[in-house]
């Protein structure tokens, strides 16, 4: 209903596929970031490989999610 009203006023409905991918990437990126924080706080041994993988995954997925959100809002 809301999207129909917004579409009448000239608002374009965002792509559902990009919108869903943005949310999926945001959730997975935040989980990777939380994993990194918990692991560095409570981890017994420091694993450089796990830290690098977590940083890389969270940075890439959060970057793509913000990019997809900006695309759906037309910015």
Residue 35 lies in domain: 16-72
> Residue 7: inside a domain, yes or no?
no
Three-state secondary structure string covering the chain: CHHHHHHHCCCCCCCHHHHHHHHHHHHHHHHHHHHHHHHHHHCCCCCHHHHHHHHHHHHHHHHHHHHHHHHHCCC
Question: Lowest-confidence range among 7-11, 37-41, 43-47?
Answer: 7-11
The structure's pTM equals: 0.69
> Residue 1: inside a domain, yes or no?
no
List the Cα angle 42/45/46 in 5-degree steps.
90
> Residue 8: inside a domain, yes or no?
no
State how many domains the chain has: 1
> Residue 5: inside a domain, yes or no?
no
> Residue 4: inside a domain, yes or no?
no
> Alpha-carbon distance 18 to 63, whole Å?
14
> Residue 11: inside a domain, yes or no?
no
> Alpha-carbon distance 11 to 20, whole Å?
19
> Residue 42: inside a domain, yes or no?
yes
Q: With bands split at pLDDT 50, 70 and 90, how would you rate the model's confidence at 14?
A: low
Reply yes or no on whether the pLDDT at 45 is more than 80: no
> Residue 32: inside a domain, yes or no?
yes
């Amino acid at each position: 209903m809301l999207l129909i009203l917004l579409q009448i006023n000239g608002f374009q409905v965002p792509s559902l596929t990009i919108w869903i991918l943005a949310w999926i990437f945001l959730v997975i990126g935040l989980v990777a970031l939380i994993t990194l924080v918990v692991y560095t706080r409570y981890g017994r041994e420091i694993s450089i490989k796990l830290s690098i993988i977590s940083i890389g995954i969270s940075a890439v997925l959060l970057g793509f999610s913000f990019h997809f959100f900006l695309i759906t809002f037309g910015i």
